[in-house]
Amino acid sequence: MSTTFTLDTATSRAHPVPEPVRRLTVPAIQRRKAGGVTAEPVVMLTAYTARMAQLLDPVCDMLLVGDSLGQVIYGLDTTVRVTLDMMCAHGAAVVRGSYKSVVVIDMPFGSYEASPEAAFLSAARVMKETGAAAVKLEGGEAMAPTIAFLVARGIPVVGHVGLTPQAVNALGGYGARGKSAAEAAKIAADARAVSDAGAFAMVIEGVMEPLARDITGQVSAVTIGIGASPACDGQVLVLDDMLGMFERVPRFVRRFDDLAGRISAAAESYAAAVRERSFPADAELYGVQRADSKPA
């Protein structure tokens, strides 16, 4: 990762890359959706570290520093136990490692629900400490006033409706939502409220496909599906699920790699080389006369 900063004389700002790179912006993401249709789907993945952000940034439009890091990074049983300190630390790392994508930081449970004012204090801290472009929070109609409060004060917001992991205790699990007509109507109303409150985008998670399709056509916000519908304006997956880092994944995850298997194989090769004393070899040592080297 580069640590050399150059000065952009046009803006008097330092950039940690050889040439200044202009990030995508929230308005640019919003403009993807015109007349209820998004011609170019939004590509989004989670990221939690600077190095992973570097690798994902060239191909993603948005990077989500999700509170899923509680489970993926810290081994917690739910996202409920994630703290604002965790989100700020990982969010700042992802911003440092990316130069193009819109970086969005999850607001953890307990950091925004009490009041719009409390949400603003938490969101302002996140924006200041990370340099991210937006925050994400869960909830529908109940959170609409908070979303409007944040947006009016210059904080772009991504909503989250359907299966909301922070409410897992109230929901009773991670099952798909919107199976009954009443629940589907409630989720659709939540999505409209979030969009009308000013959220520029929203994650629709774990709902019946026709419901996600209908919501996408009804709201002006850009919809990002996860276990929703290919008709959504974009898609997101938890990176470690997509890479095959875990044995069990939700039904809606497609594994694009078996990284866990490849890591295990590499670790086995390393262990074997250590035990047979073939690592380190002469080429990996200092002060050793190599067989193919010429005397000085």
Please list the active-site residues: 205
- Asked if residue 128 belongs to a known ligand binding site, the reply is no
What's the gap between Cα 289 and its chain centre? Answer: 49
Query: What burial class does residue 31 get, using C-beta atoms within 10 Å of its C-beta: 0-12 exposed, 13-18 middle, 19+ buried?
Result: exposed
Question: What are the DSSP E strand ranges found in the chain?
Answer: 6-8, 13-15, 33-34, 37-38, 42-46, 62-65, 102-106, 134-136, 157-162, 201-205, 222-226, 234-237
- Asked if residue 8 belongs to a known ligand binding site, the reply is no
Q: For residues 49 and 55, is the Cβ–Cβ distance under 8 A?
A: no
Q: What letter represents residue 117's amino acid?
A: E
- Asked if residue 292 belongs to a known ligand binding site, the reply is no
What's the gap between Cα 240 and its chain centre? Answer: 11
d(CA 249, CA 3): 36
d(CA 2, CA 17): 7
Q: How many residues does the chain have?
A: 296
- Asked if residue 12 belongs to a known ligand binding site, the reply is no
- Asked if residue 68 belongs to a known ligand binding site, the reply is yes
Residue in this structure with the two tokens 């990762």, named with its chain if needed: 1
* Residue stretches of the annotated binding site for Mg(2+): 67, 106, 138
* Residue stretches of the annotated binding site: 67-68, 106, 136, 138
* Residue stretches of the annotated binding site for 3-methyl-2-oxobutanoate: 67-68, 106, 136
